[in-house]
Structure 1
């Protein structure tokens, strides 16, 4: 009897889940939803985040009301904007932390992915897949210097992990130098390079051999190299963001990156550039390495690499380094890295960046944007400490974290999405699509000006 009741209960649960799934799939089919449907989606989203995802998000997100009963729930996007489920439009100056360089759902990228999907979604893992080979050739052509071989990943932290493993295989050295205020990801290897203490402490001890020095301090970097050599712990590689993103949009001092390159050459260490956030045109060049005329030994890419449509990342390395994996290409692999859909997206993304000359446009629009934001702060020097940036990678630093949060919240209420850096609002970032219009830039500047006037 007990078994029959349990079986009946399981059947009802399966039937209930099946009905729920079908209801959700019907919602996905729709381009527009009714007011009643929008209310249901919002309630389901908030409740399911609380009960099944992580209730902490309801406390953290500025898009959630104080009692957690209502939230802005995103539903559709296009161009430089996205809409919530109620139809409110937002100019996206967060850009998914820098993934929408060619805009939201860029038509060329979407077409390349859907065309590929009609023929084949994922590869067999055994036969040679053509788009991976073609994309690797394209990267060899557009990356600086003699970077030649590529390995494809699904995300930024995976790209950094691959770079660290490749560096270890190249020299069998185990010491790495990273910098303070750096962010390289949250998997164990990349987290070992990341400098944010609150992310590191719960997982200590991390991968041994990492040293952190102040970003921009070449003397400290040199002394660390010297000390490591003296104690027999020679440096395998230096891991750097050319411009620090999560650390607060920190630009390197003049000549710093070239001096780091020279130190690496002097001590036989590799130079790894983490361009997960700075790459793909964001800073006014296709890669920030080109801004500073420095060629790394390994270049890490992700975020915008998939065109805002597919998760995709890569490392590109010099042949002398990458050949460590020639003898056994299975030393480091990933099931979905370099899959046909991701490669199609990346190829189309590069096409858009080149055809529309978006890196150069980022430099031009970024200069206009930066000056407009600076002009808007006149008379508010007691609130704003500094506005800095390169291309369309801009940081606004406030004297107090609380002011930055209020500005972010106020701009969101006016239909402009911005965000802090490293879960801290003392510096908020402006990272819109590189094809954002001047009219949209002016709207953002005006919103910033108005919000700043009303913040204490």
Structure 2
């Protein structure tokens, strides 16, 4: 049913907005408009309640319209709406930086604020290059990412990213190379981490041999690849990447824009998988999606290198930053969001409820033969859907639209359906979501 007749938007208004990561032609022919959100539900233009099966865009683990966050934002708007990001500061940025370090591995304790996950990745890559120049190794400028990796929409992000549809249209990016992904044949329908696949880390040795460690600044991977459809690392894989980077004097960057602050049933993916990188990039859950904000968190040794070689103390140690770095309103939202996570013990709750979520998701295996794989970890799950008419993205789109009609929002991307419920989701809500998805899958079959 078309909703265009019911919206107050004009066709000119619809046409004016070039939407991000969207099929603009299809959407504008039949808009799916959200008018409000509260708790775990959106309300659409028809007044229907839509269960938020992806926590926004992996952003809103606390649910929507959280009173403490709303109050913190409203108070901050009235007190200090903006503060210059360069050469001057405000108290909340320092408070939030210290709060973030409480969620990080102990060695990572220096926080550089950005406005998004894409900016966080860009910051991490730039500082990695600059760090090696400060260390007298200026040839270390290349990067290694991974197939099916997603690291944002900037030029640097798509360069190290490994999702073909996000790369092919744009031509040459930064010089970078890619590890193979870790979806090994025979690991389909694994619950949690697969036993096979660690050997794919050895491809990093091959890349280093080919291009020489003296030219490589950093390896960047997501601990768990979210946007590619919840690709969980095999047992021992991330540990092996850490060993290889240490052996060859290469920085290891974890992109934790999705996995940070509770989604994995741990404070970070680094904690969940017991591997400490040199840099962690963050965004999304840091403010519960209320205000755009990101950060890159560095080991103190990296920070100290810049401070020690910064010249006179009034000079810039790193000529880098953004107009909205450490925005006062974002900092207020971030402090309130992280306080809620701590006070409600939501990291522990996700860990405790994850086995229940796992069992719910894997019940779908017997529902439809068009499911070729199911993967899960923490409060995240991905399904790979068999293609139809040689169009891998067609069925996931149709499934997601069916789910929307049934009152559930899920993400479709490439040949996958992706799920990431809010941290407070109850078993009955999990069952309802999975039952609806089962019906949508059967409709396709």
Cα shift at 1:236: 1.0
Correspondence 1:194 to 2:161: yes
Over residues 110-168 of structure 1, what are the superposed CA-to-partner deviations in whole Å (9 max), with x where a residue is unaligned?
Answer: 11111211211111344331111111112223211311110001100000000001100
Correspondence 1:227 to 2:210: yes
How high is the TM-score relative to the length of structure 1?
0.84
Cα shift at 1:46: 5.2
Change in CA separation of 1:43 and 1:377 when aligned onto 2, cut-off 3 Å: farther
Change in CA separation of 1:449 and 1:48 when aligned onto 2, cut-off 3 Å: same
Cα shift at 1:52: 4.5
Within 5 Å, give how 1:12-411 maps onto structure 2. 42-44=7-9, 47-53=12-18, 57-61=23-27, 68=29, 70-125=30-85, 126-172=87-133, 173-208=140-175, 210-216=176-182, 217-229=200-212, 233-326=214-307, 327=310, 328-380=316-368, 382-400=369-387, 401=392, 402-411=394-403
Change in CA separation of 1:170 and 1:51 when aligned onto 2, cut-off 3 Å: closer
Cα distance in 2, alignment partners of residues 46 and 300 from structure 1: 39
Conserved 8 A contact 2:361-2:381: no
Unaligned runs of 5+ in 2: 134-139, 183-199, 311-315
Conserved 8 A contact 2:4-2:31: no
Cα distance in 2, alignment partners of residues 350 and 52 from structure 1: 33
Cα shift at 1:213: 1.4
1:419 matched residue in structure 2: 411
Cα shift at 1:245: 0.9
Over residues 294-338 of structure 1, what are the superposed CA-to-partner deviations in whole Å (9 max), with x where a residue is unaligned?
Answer: 111100000111112111110110111123443224511111111
Conserved 8 A contact 1:353-1:359: yes
Cα distance in 2, alignment partners of residues 298 and 391 from structure 1: 22
Conserved 8 A contact 1:169-1:324: no
SS in 2 for 1:443: helix
Q: Which has the larger radius of gyration?
A: 1
CA-based RMSD? 2.1
Over residues 61-93 of structure 1, what are the superposed CA-to-partner deviations in whole Å (9 max), with x where a residue is unaligned?
Answer: 4xx6xxx1x422111001111101221110011
More helix as a share of residues: 1
Cα distance in 2, alignment partners of residues 279 and 267 from structure 1: 27
Cα shift at 1:192: 1.0
Structure 1 moving runs of 4+ over 6 Å: 38-41
